[in-house]
Amino acid sequence: MNVDAVLTARDVHGPTVDGKVAVVIDVLRATSTITTALANGCTGVFPVLSPEEGHELAASFRPGSYLLGGERGGLKIEGFDLGNSPREYTPEQISGRALIMTTTNGTLAIRNCHSSYRLYVSSLLNAPSVAKAAARHGRDVMLVCSGTHGVFSLEDAYCAGMVAQELRAGGAHLSDLAEACRIIFSGYSTAPLDLLHLAEHGKELLSLGFPDDLEYCARAGSLNVVPVFTEGRVAAEAS
Ligand code: MLT
């Protein structure tokens, strides 16, 4: 099994992931939010590319059966129910409901990977569980870092490195890029919060007033849920 990586959502095109297991990562914060929502009883997350697409899709849902969530510029979108802080997605808010979600980078990365053989969603919260699920298929794996505003982001590479480390321990071969992510991870393997504070997007979230989100998103391996995208919807994979 070969493991490779791409560094931004915009670098993903059909051939990048065709026939492969894709693992989409946006630690700050889209995939941490999706992971948390599903762990707290969300019935499914529908990634959409714009607020307008979100409202259109919402019209096909029964009132009360869904929430609109996401961000632009890191902040809640006008007319939406929730923002993109994973801590907003409590069981009281999201259990038994669908989530229609749009974010700047993370939901775009998921949608760009639709042609993959299997598409998993990972954050630091659930990376060990996702790595195990990805390895089970015996296929090549593409670690898809969403990046921030179209450029490399340290926290996504760190999470990709955590997944790569697990896959390498199972005998997988890492490309130079996957190996670079693993080396970033190994430098801070016991200090994920320090790494999030070093990252540009971490600093941006601190300036927007979300220090608790960094602390939460750094809780590596705290959730077992394995989110998988099929037919337009991310849901928890049956174990
Ligand atoms: C994104 O998808 O761009 C991020 O999740 C932005 C954010 O931190 O809210």
Domain boundaries, the chain: 2-50+105-236
* Alpha carbon of 170 to ligand 1 centroid (Å): 31
Q: Compute the distance between CA of residue 219 and CA of residue 110 in angstroms, rounded to an integer.
A: 22
Question: What angle, rounded to 10 degrees, do the helices at 200-207 and 154-169 form?
Answer: 130
E strand or H helix at 141, and its extent?
A: strand 141-145
The closest of 159, 132, 220 to 7, measured between CA atoms, is 159
pTM of the predicted model over 0.85: yes
What residues contact residue 215 under an 8 Å CB cut-off, 6+ apart? 193
The tokens for 144 are: 């898809």
Residue 25 Cβ inside 6 Å of ligand 1? The answer reads: no
Per-residue pLDDT of the chain (239 residues; tens, 9 = 90+): 999 999 998 899 878 999 999 999 999 999 999 999 999 999 999 999 999 999 999 999 999 999 999 999 999 999 999 999 999 999 999 999 999 999 999 999 999 999 999 999 999 999 999 999 999 999 999 999 999 988 999 999 999 999 999 999 999 999 999 999 999 999 999 999 999 999 999 999 999 999 999 999 999 999 999 999 999 999 999 87
Between CA 6 and CA 16, with CA 10 as vertex, the angle to 5 degrees is: 50
- Using a 10 angstrom Cβ sphere, with 0-12 exposed, 13-18 middle and 19 or more buried, the burial of residue 94 is buried
Residue 81 Cβ inside 6 Å of ligand 1? The answer reads: no
* Alpha carbon of 85 to ligand 1 centroid (Å): 9
| Reported CATH class of domain 2-50+105-236 | alpha beta
Residue 160 Cβ inside 6 Å of ligand 1? The answer reads: no
